[in-house]
Amino acid sequence: MSPDKNLINTVKDLDNTAPTAHENNQVQQEQMDKRKEMLRRDKGYKANEQSSYE
């Protein structure tokens, strides 16, 4: 009988090291920076909206 595929995948996931809090913050900051840049480039903003995201 072969092992359960879900269990094998779970074990593989447990072998991976979890990112540190600092690494998580870096990823979140990159996402926010990209979002802000996208909002700056968007020409359809209202005058009072742009400054609130910077």
Global confidence as pTM: 0.45
Per-residue pLDDT reduced to its tens digit, 3-53: 788 888 888 888 887 789 999 999 999 999 988 888 777 666 555 555 555
Per-residue pLDDT reduced to its tens digit, 22-31: 999 999 999 9
Residue entry with tokens 């742009």: 50
3-state secondary structure (DSSP) of residue 4: coil
- The whole-angstrom separation of Cα 53 and Cα 46 is 12
